[in-house]
Amino acid sequence: MRQMITVRDAIHMLLVACGALLIATGFNMFLIPHQLLSGGVSGISMIVGYFLNWNIGLVYFVFNLPILIWGWIVVGRRFVLLSILSVLLTSWFMQIVPSDNFNQDPLLGAVFGGVLIGLGTGISLRVGGSSGGFDIVGFIVTMNRNFQLGTLLFFLNSSVVFALGYLFNWDLAMRSMLAIFITGKVIDTIHIRQLKITAFIITQYKQQIIERLHQLPRGVTLVKTEGAFTGNHQDMLMTVMTRYELAELRKIIREVDPKAWVNIVETVEVIGEFRRLR
């Protein structure tokens, strides 16, 4: 039986569409008119389009296909389906959004283009997808490692721009680097999954909460406690999760045990296995 699309799924697809529109606007109105690059797959697509006079939107889609297939195999269907939607809509919006010289200053084009692309990419990542390209590569790498996603994407994309600057034009490369840097910082601001918290939960419904936390999925440590004033013995659950999942934890507590005592602290670093949600 096929799973029906929920209201939440529809909202996520709408947000992905908004992100794709922001990305296409950043490309067409700020970067492409000044022949700037966004780095990664989109940057390679722009170089091909600049020198061969090909449709950059179509080249962007074709170059993303093998990466999307890799993501489908390694990461999961929902992530890649949202990424495919983002890539398709970005390519389509690039055929619609005018590629006009909106501003005369290439530096401003790099700044505002980077902000728009970062917003669009961050929105897609926030709802569980991506904008394709090196976003998928970066997401796969950071699934089990304590890297900041936007910073990793900055280094991946920078390698492309540095190569192009060495071969062609350093002024173009440096302005493009600025756009990529801003994009990465905006992504890290919106996409907060790499920020972790530790929750200590004292409850009389330990098994129900453990089962719900395992569905996230998150590991849970059970600690036996004793109240210093009452002397009562209770169970305390300790779990580490991302701040993005904090809303889901609150929902679990409200539904299972509204009277549970919960202490949430920020976690600086986790040494050991810590798997992010897809």
Same domain assignment for residues 97 and 205: no
Q: Between the CA atoms of 58, 27, 21 and 119, what dihedral angle is there, to the nearest 10 degrees? A: 130
pLDDT higher for 203 or 1? Answer: 203
Residue 2 lies in a domain: no
Domain count, the chain: 2
Q: Which pLDDT belongs to residue 145?
A: 58
Same domain assignment for residues 125 and 216: no
pLDDT higher for 65 or 234? Answer: 65
Same domain assignment for residues 42 and 164: yes
Same domain assignment for residues 229 and 174: no
Last residue within a domain, chosen from 165, 190, 215: 190
Same domain assignment for residues 231 and 144: no
Q: At what angle do helices 40-52 and 134-142 cross, to 10 degrees?
A: 160
Residue 272 lies in a domain: no
The closest alpha carbon to 88, from 118, 151, 123, 130, belongs to: 130
Q: Which pLDDT belongs to residue 277?
A: 43
Same domain assignment for residues 156 and 24: yes
**What is the average pLDDT value for the chain, to the nearest integer?**
81
Tokens of 179: 């756009």
Same domain assignment for residues 48 and 77: yes
Instruction: Round to whole Å and give the CA distance between 141 and 152.
Output: 9
Same domain assignment for residues 132 and 96: yes
For residue 239, the enclosing domain spans 196-267
| pTM flag (> 0.85) | no
pLDDT higher for 144 or 258? Answer: 258
pLDDT greater than 60 at residue 194: no
Alpha helices for 31-148 (secondary structure H): 40-52, 56-74, 77-96, 106-126, 134-142
Residue 102 lies in a domain: yes
Residue 275 lies in a domain: no
Q: Which residues contact 121 (CB under 8 A, 6 or more apart)?
A: 19, 23, 130, 131, 135, 183, 186, 187
Same domain assignment for residues 95 and 130: yes
Same domain assignment for residues 206 and 112: no
Contact between 256 and 212 under an 8 Å Cβ cutoff? The reply is yes
pLDDT tens sequence across 45-60: 988 888 888 999 999 9
Last residue within a domain, chosen from 172, 190, 208: 190
Same domain assignment for residues 224 and 132: no
Residue 43 lies in a domain: yes
Contact between 241 and 195 under an 8 Å Cβ cutoff? The reply is no
Same domain assignment for residues 87 and 65: yes
Contact between 123 and 16 under an 8 Å Cβ cutoff? The reply is yes
Highest mean pLDDT among 124-128, 158-162, 198-202: 198-202
Query: Residues 202-220: what's their mean pLDDT?
Result: 81
Indicate which CATH number applies to the domain containing 212: 3.30.70.120
